[in-house]
Amino acid sequence: MLTRLANPTRFVRLADRLLPWLIGAMAIAFVVGLVWGLGFAPPDYQQGDTVRIMYVHVPAAWLAMFGYSFMAVASFVALVWKHPLADVAAKAAAPIGAGFCLVALVTGSLWGAPMWGTWWVWDARLTSMLVLFFLYVGYIALWSAIDEPERAAKAAAILALVGAVNVPIVKFSVDWWSTLHQPSSIMRMDGPSVDPTILWPLLINALAFQLYFVVVLLWRMKAELITRRVRALTLGLAAREA
């Protein structure tokens, strides 16, 4: 599968065939998730309607962590096996992950203000999430700081891999250190501890965010492949004229 997809033409053809379905499913999931979460899911008996922030905060935070993990795996594949699409995928994922990391941070702050009585605390979960955001920004900056794509890809991949150590720290920070942030209530060994009336709209929103990630990732990967082809063609033309 991965070897077959190493051919960019084949990859673009597959992406073009998948994209309309992905976009359709994403639109449905977004509408259902939003209407359910905002309109029909019950308010929390302690937190009232602020609990609705969860329907964007939690999927955004999951996606921020998933995006970085994806980037790290793709970077590893790029460094070790030199798969021609791996560094394209890693580069394309970074701005999406960074965007959702920012959403998770700001919506967390907007949730924390009324419920914890503070916009921000320097505790393990919040700080490691902020570090994740800076890692994303550093990764994007590194790509744009080096002109030559091959060298930029290598440097960025190493940064992505070193930074990957932060992902489990984000995930387990709520278990390892005392924090204001609540511990995991969905991804637990003994199953979710959340009522189905809240769990379902949350999962549908998470699905919508995930589909969005794939759609935008495919767009960005296609754009990157085309840009590289333009670069190759331009260099070829210049070489011929010289």
Looking at the Cβ atoms of 53 and 157, the one nearer to other proteins is 53
Residue 35 or 158: the one with the smaller Cβ distance to other proteins is: 35
Nearest approach in angstroms of CB 170 to other proteins is: 19
Question: Which residues are near other proteins by CB under 8 A?
Answer: 7-9, 12-13, 15-16, 19-20, 34, 38-39, 43, 48-50, 52-53, 56-57, 60, 95-96, 99-100, 102-103, 106-107, 110-111, 113-114, 212, 215-216, 219-220, 222-223, 225-230, 233-234, 237
Which CA distances in Å does 21 have to 60, 89, 96, 112? 22, 20, 20, 37
Q: Are residues 101 and 82 in contact, defined by beta-carbon separation less than 8 angstroms? A: no
**Shortest CB 39 distance to other proteins, Å:** 7
C-beta of 102 vs 169, nearer to other proteins: 102
Selection from 181, 203, 177, 206 nearest residue 192 by Cα = 203
Indicate the residue among 111 and 143 with the shorter CB distance to other proteins. Answer: 111
In whole angstroms, how close is the CB of 242 to other proteins at the nearest point?
16
In the complex with other proteins, which residue's Cβ is closer, 20 or 191? 20
Q: Residues 191, 123, 97, 94: is their CA dihedral positive or negative?
A: negative
Give per-residue burial for 96-122: e unless 16+ CB within 10 Å, then b.
bbbbbbebbbebbeebbeebeeeeeee
At closest approach, how far in Å is the CB of 171 from other proteins?
Answer: 21
Query: Which secondary-structure segment (H or E) carries 205?
Result: helix 196-241
* CB of 210 vs other proteins, minimal distance in Å: 13
